[in-house]
Chains A and B, each alone.
Chain A
Amino acid sequence: MADRVKLQIDGKTVEAPAGALLINVARQAGIDIPAFCYYDGLALQAACRMCLVEVEKAPKLLAACTLPVTDGMVVRTETAQVREARKAMLEFLLTNHPLDCPVCDKGGECELQDAVFRYGAGESRFTEEKLHVPEAQWSPVVYYDAPRCILCYRCVRICDEGLGVRALGVVNRGATTEIAPNRGDHLECDECGMCIDICPVGALTSGIYRYKTRPWEMKHVGTICTHCGDGCKTTLGVYGGQIIRGNNRDRSGINDEFLCIKGRYAFDFVHHPDRLRTPLVRRNGQLVETSWAEALDLVARKFSEVKARGRKFGVIGSNRTTNEENYVLQTFVRQGLGTNNLDHHRTGDVVSLVAALAGRQGALAASADLYQRKAALIVAADLAQQHPLLAFLLRANWRHHQARVYVVTPGPVREDSYAVRSVRAPSGEELAAVESLRDALAAEPELVILFGDSVKGERVRRLVEFGDSLGISVQYVCLLDYSNSRGAADMGVLPDLLPGYAPVEASGAPPGLTLPEMLDAPDLDVLWVIGANPLARRALTSKEAFVVVQDLFLTETAARADVILPAASAYEKTGTVTNTCGEVQRLRKAVEIPGTKSDLEIFGLLARRMGLPFGPWRPEEVWEEIRANVSGYNVPSALLAAGGAFPTFPASGLHSVRPKPELIRSAGDTLFTSGTLGRYCKTLSSVREAPGTLYRS
């Protein structure tokens, strides 16, 4: 019992681990002790004095945020003396705090407002005039209103400790103390907005959301960010049919409350003026608006005709559409069009990893493993830029559990600052450098290996062999770029693999053409592109090809199309996506853009027009089909619907793959770019750090 103690809080007997902080022990027991400066996971500050409590035998009130519990402690958190102390502290905090709550963004979800409501410091004895300082804009997304600031330093600590950016500091002293940005009058940072969310008052506000609405006027929709592959939950604030805010204050996802600039602000593409809202068809060389019925008829007629003549289709799927859409797409293409010419832009070699790990359980790391495992090795990725959540979790693991991190990258990365070893190795030559870390890695109790796109094909197998030879438990993360890159592979949007990585030969048909093979085929009759922009990187050889594009914008690929069908984005539909760690999560529809249709709905309408024996589809039904048929996806639907994240592990029987390393290429997105979609996110390009560079930490 030495490591457990028994204490009494407000007459309630509570058991807790010795050394735990009283504030946390009380909160776990359902007794809320208010605090501004104390923040779970950040360094202790003990500055705000709001958490003062009465402890028996202590001569005066003690701060619960820094008090470790001991056996036999008797604590009272709501006595008259405690209430009086809190009220007095609030009176101090309000000496310079303006009472502009009616127009403050934070009004209604302000911790200071709540505390004053609770302790009633409604009257002030101060007669001095309040100090006023004009508010400052530090970046397109961050505003600072100094008089509202109560100097809890949460923002300073989250930026320094949480992100490792250290863009905020504290200047001056006494009543004139202020938070200051790192570049004099502006910020140079990740622009993640963590400082704004963590602010207990309205001192730091968001340039995107400020003065738009009152918090209680919004509908809050928890969905999954559509940008990188990490799969953060972002809670979208919807008002008047518009998304006006993104955050995750309810800590509901795998990301807790973390979001980068993309998850927090890059929802603006949804309402971009260039958004396609009407189908377009090419007439006399020009793209002209048409009705959905006409556009779908034209596509269905063309598809049926080309199919009947036994000619060549090429179909390119998306890294951002849902699992349900990807699953239906491959069904449509294989069974409806009779071809395996189906592929997507592969941003990492997850196929080779699945093959190399065939038959094992638990060899893929979940995102939580990055926070819990004792050691990690990053190979060929600028994690803080390309995978902000994974970088945040790993850094938190180092801060809280002293995790040992090893880095093998072509250039400097932020993780170097706390890594036990950092080795520079040119792209493609990382494995030799990894080998040089063998002794150190073998001495670790366990390891997570994260690898980027230059570890592909044969190198993935060699990396796994290396992991096996260490004699310790090793888990892997194949880093992929986009929100459902993993799902596209899992659902068989590949020319040689069916859903769950089953070889197509099992179905009796030969593998189809890969993405570049389709674009290079001189006799391609139809190119059907769903949510991808392959022609931005490679020209289409077949001049005669009939091109059908489903997308949000008039991309380079859409500009070549004969028919463009305006598609709904991830924030406008339900379904599931699978992140780079293989965790499947549910999308929830936040808004609807008139004129667009989800890709799933489009597939159904086409199937009906072509007289195919399937469709229309509802996401929930397709999900049940995926659960039943796709290896690794038999996860509990109810919990998923409640917002959970479940690891999927394709237990493939796949022992040999035809490695196609030439097909694997990351888009190399930074914190401020997001493939073609990023171009339509004004917030991303508005910050001065954009577009950013990798390996320039």
Chain B
Amino acid sequence: MTFSPQLEARFEKLLRSYPPGRQRAALVPMLLYAQDEVGAVTPEVVEEIGRRLGVSTLEIEEVISYYSMLRRTPAGKHHIQICTNISCMLLGAEELWEHACRRLGIGHREVTPDGQFSLEEVECIGACSWAPALLVNYDYHHHMTPEKLDRLIESLRKPQ
């Protein structure tokens, strides 16, 4: 399979950053970047990256099944990841999570029928000081409340 020239350039830079013979160390970032572009770690992605790094399908399976951030099916366009670890939980993350589920009509690791949103309950995202916190794709949103979440979802719905 082929990737965009931008992604190819990124891969090339990535592979250069490891010592010769240690290129398999690039496996996790390559899977993540490919997932960002393709939408998911598809069997084609596995095969292509395995071929490039000389890593077997089974070894890539081991990695994908271990890391929850790697997905086999596409997430929504806006992937909302709500932290429910201790700091966030103490400051209302569970209410936030339940609100999000009701509002979007989906649960953990599910996608709205229009493909716009997906939801995931995640472990600590390192934003305890600004709890409760969530991520939309790679962007942080701090001190969240159900109201702020509604406004966020509305703004994401609008065509950019």
Residues of A within 8 A of B (CB): 166-173, 180-182
- Which 7 pairs across A and B sit closest by C-beta, in order of nearness? A171-B65, A169-B58, A182-B58, A169-B62, A172-B65, A173-B66, A171-B61
Q: What's the dominant secondary structure at chain A's contact region? A: strand
- Given contacts A169-B61, A171-B61, are A182 and B66 in contact (CB under 8 A)? no
Q: Are B56 and A171 in contact (CB under 8 A)?
A: no
A171 proximity list for chain B (CB < 8 A): 61-62, 65-66
Q: Would you call the interface of chain B mostly helix, strand, loop, or mixed?
A: helix
B58 contacts A180, C-beta separation under 8 Å:
yes
**What residues of B have a CB within 8 angstroms of the CB of A180 in the complex?**
58, 61-62
Q: How large is the interface on B (under 10, 10 to 19, 20 to 34, 35 or more residues)?
A: under 10
**Cα–Cα distance between A170 and B63 once the two chains are bound (Å):** 9
Q: Tell which of A170, A172, A173, A182 touches B56, judged by Cβ atoms closer than 8 Å.
A: A182
- Other than the given A166-B56, A166-B58, A168-B58, 14 more pairs (CB < 8 A) read A166-B59, A169-B58, A169-B61, A170-B62, A171-B62, A171-B65, A171-B66, A172-B65, A172-B66, A180-B58, A180-B61, A180-B62, A182-B56, A182-B58
Q: CB-CB < 8 A to A168: which residues of B?
A: 58
What CA separation (Å) do A167 and B65 show in the bound complex? 17
Give, as a whole number of angstroms, the nearest-CB distance from A391 to chain B.
Answer: 20
**Minimum distance in angstroms from A602 CB to a CB of chain B:** 51
What's the minimum C-beta distance from A345 to chain B, rounded to whole angstroms? Answer: 39
Interface centre among B56, B58, B61, B62 (most CB of A within 10 A): B58
- Which A-chain residue is minimally distant from B59 (CB atoms)? A169
Query: Within the assembled complex, what's the spacing in Å between the Cα atoms of A113 and B58?
Result: 31
Closest A residue to B67 by beta carbon equals A173
Which of A169, A180, A181 has the most CB atoms of chain B within a 10 A radius of its CB? A169
The answer to the question of B57 belonging to the interface, with a C-beta cut-off of 8 Å to chain A, is yes
**Closest approach, in angstroms, between the C-beta of A184 and any C-beta of chain B?**
8
Please measure, in the bound complex, the distance between the C-alpha atom of A575 and the C-alpha atom of B65, giving whole angstroms. 53
Residues of A within 8 A of B59 (CB): 166, 169
Query: Looking across the interface, which residue of chain B has its beta carbon closest to that of A176?
Result: B65
Bound complex: CA of A167 vs CA of B58, how far in Å? 8
How far, in angstroms, from A173 to B66 measured CA to CA in the complex? 5
* Smallest beta-carbon distance A221→chain B, Å: 37
Q: List 13 A-B residue pairs with CB atoms under 8 Å apart, sorted by A's residue number.
A: A166-B56, A166-B58, A166-B59, A169-B59, A169-B61, A171-B61, A172-B66, A173-B65, A180-B61, A180-B62, A182-B56, A182-B57, A182-B58
Q: How far is the CB of B99 from chain A (nearest CB, A)?
A: 28
Chain B contacts for A172, CB-based, 8 A: 65-66
Kindly report which residue of chain B lies nearest to residue A182, judged by CB atoms: B58
* Bound CA–CA A82/B151 (angstroms): 57
Q: Which of B5-21 contact A (CB under 8 A)?
A: none
Measured CA separation A167–B57 after assembly (Å): 10
Roughly how many angstroms separate A99 CA and B59 CA in the complex, as a whole number? 31
| Cα separation A170 to B59 with both chains bound (whole Å) | 8
- Report the Cα distance A166→B61, complex, angstroms: 13
Q: Measured between C-beta atoms, what is the minimum distance from B54 to chain A in Å?
A: 11
Q: Using a CB-CB cutoff of 8 Å, which residues 40-92 of chain B contact chain A?
A: 56-59, 61-62, 65-66
Taking the closest CB of chain B, its distance from the CB of A694, in whole angstroms, is: 23
Q: CB-CB < 8 A to A182: which residues of B?
A: 56-58
CB distance from A175 to the nearest CB of B (A): 13
Task: Tell me how far the C-beta of B47 lies from the nearest C-beta in chain A, rounded to whole angstroms.
Answer: 13
